[in-house]
Structure 1
């Protein structure tokens, strides 16, 4: 599980507090209005923003002061972070070795994950040769190849059309859970949360409400969620 123990993040005049547990073994959606701090909280969990107070624990391990690369997680951003001069195979292989000196077993694992996300036969292409959805699949493949216990997503599919986004969300859920990964997903779309999230946590008025089962939360919205939904 991912525990936020009295966490407080201060950025200038903006302050966000989070205290609670995000369950492992499924998908948790993180929702809130623009400017509520969703991406800020995700960045703090990933290690890019130091907390002003409190702790971040993953499976009981305090990672509050750990470098991003030393935390048991991977993160996908909105722009996918694919290098345009590298092939898709090389971009995905970076998930294993920055120098891309992969062993035969590592190359086999890379090729297997490319096939799993529907990119078989596209390993030698560059990002510019892929559609937006295929680029998202490549970024997801790299995260899956890293095989970290937690996968954080900062709306990486938000630029896709509704049908393609739904396809990517379903792919995310089936592949990540098949690999035993837990997912924390920032989204502004209630439909995304309803479609794939087991639990949902809402950020409002500078604080994160405890995560609750998604179906129950939308059936009986909290005041914060009701305000967000309008």
Structure 2
């Protein structure tokens, strides 16, 4: 029994992969909404997933329905020292209701963006913005960091969100000692091991098994 639990725990842990969670905020300005830039690295060719979860920053007067501030848009570019529309690789606005992976981070609205795209090794930048008349940003928007003419949903002044990144991306150039973390000024990177719950459950079973045998010996 002990051997089975230990082997099962090791087996599950061997398949556990770490993802990363970063957080950011878009702001309403007189000219439009701000754009966040997330620079990241892919060390070897693989499929990369990026999942956005928007936060509600207000509630209705009766305290039930939350107010959504963000209709997010992803624009993913290759990065060679500068960015323009010719570097665009992929974009996403709303997700399909049946795309269960997009809702795995707790999203409750199709406004939350999701990308799953095959990338070769290299440097990339993800621009997170609010939806305007088009999902694609102009060169002027990209250069200025403002989505001109755009307004956040429900007349909100800011919109908080988090990004869940697949484990095959990094925010530091492994070929250099320099820290090149990407994102907006309030970005926080947290490594999230997955899935820890079942491993902890098996360890708990091992503990219960030992306690049970101890009481049997005492009896």
TM-score (norm 1): 0.26
Larger helix fraction of residues: 1
Larger strand fraction of residues: 2
- Structure number with higher relative contact order (C-alpha < 8 Å, ≥ 6 residues apart): 2
TM-score (norm 2): 0.27
Bigger Rg, which one: 2
